[in-house]
Chains A and B, each alone.
Chain A
Amino acid sequence: MTNILEIKGVNKTFGGLHALRDVNLEIYEGETHAIIGPNGAGKSTLLNCCIGKLIPDDGSVTFNGNNMIGVDAHDINHAGMVRVFQTPEIFPELSLLENVLIPALAKRDGTFKFNPFGDIFNEKEIREEAMATLAEFGLEGFSEDHAGSMSRGNKRRLELAMGLIQKPKLLLLDEPTAGMARLDTNNTIDLLKTGKMREMTKVIIEHDMHVVFSLADRISVLARGHIIATGSPEEIKNDPKVKEAYLGEGDHE
């Protein structure tokens, strides 16, 4: 197995709070890797250290053989590591189609391209691609509606579509089912399990054990900023340390 993402000895403190201590993690190409842990365990901090939102105090983050620490967020995106946010980060004033066009344009135009004389309505190829992606997520009927007027579930689906259209090498999903009803959660699981989403290398941060055990090939457990176990779902289920730190606390939801 080749490593696509390698996190070595990462520490991060906020004032007196030691959010991450000596985190080591390897993500294999093609796997779906879940990171679980109680609230405040440092899951989101770890993700933010990967995508350039936070800079770790020490340690290294290597993606596809390249150092990612201190690299601008937009360059990390172009390296192929794309994040889907916990609270939907969409463009509320734009239509759903435009929301998906933007990441597609990023993929095509790079970090900056001055093309004030193009016509967005004439970009056939990229529009078709965007419509197809919307259709994959069952959003094609809303393509002209404002993204801000969508339901929470549809916004999350749109987020996934925006991530997927960039064909990332690694997709980081921050609680893709947070705040969803059971039916929506199951729909999202199906989405992540089928089609192009299936083969994509994914890191999923998740609270919901149902989601984790239906999707993950491997699981890492984060507690108080430290990874206490990494392994297959079966191994994690039976790991006494994990039971004590996390599952034992009765959070089987």
Chain B
Amino acid sequence: MSPPLAGSQVVTLPFAGRRILVAGAAKGIGRATVARLVAEGAAVAALDRDAAALADLATALSGAALVTAVADVTDAAAIQAAVAEAASRLGGLDGLVNAAGIDLVAPVDAMAPADWARVMAVNLTGPMTVIQAAWPHLAAAGGATIVNVSSAAGLAPLKHRTAYCASKAGLQMASKALALEAAGFGIRVNVVCPGAVDTDLFRSYLEGAADPEAALAAVKARYALERIASPDEIAAAIVWLSGPDSSFVTGIAMAVDGGRSFH
């Protein structure tokens, strides 16, 4: 890096010219990621199954280089069409963020097989469906990135979360295996593993608890920092792994968990 010329102040946004698809973009971590990416100059395609929340995001970011697409990650045909349209509207794809996910708290004897299957369909198969749809575009881009949002629960287990933990650990290994294959196309594949984050998903977990206040205290006690994260703190890691400063980083699962897994 050469030193800046005296008196010159050329500011190039780090993501200028980069086109990123975010799946699960309308709320929580995905939404914070979209906001951060457009602020740093990216053109973003925001994909989500929730049309109303997606419209709200588009209003909040009006004027930004943003296109939206409504599709559910468990519907392969819809994802294929939505990703193709997004790539066409942006003129290609340089990056993908998979942020769609659902939680399930259930003792094993009370877990319906359909609930287990649904968690796998959204959290594990869903990201692979989006990756497959985006793959030709990412491979053509040169220097593309994939960031999959797993969970600290995919690194260190949580009670009554068998399906959730398994789906998130599975996503990590799928990402690492893919990283080996993707390297030949100049694509880096990494995983972010958040701890508890202040999102609708987390709030619905608290509301479902017998004593929400005690549940929140118990969650905070899991982390060395003794608090839960904001979506922006997770988005910062996702954006970093999608950008030039992580150029030699691939195949990692980065815990952004306030000190729980010590991965």
A binds B: no
Q: Which residues of B contact A (CB under 8 A)?
A: none
Q: Which residues of A contact B (CB under 8 A)?
A: none
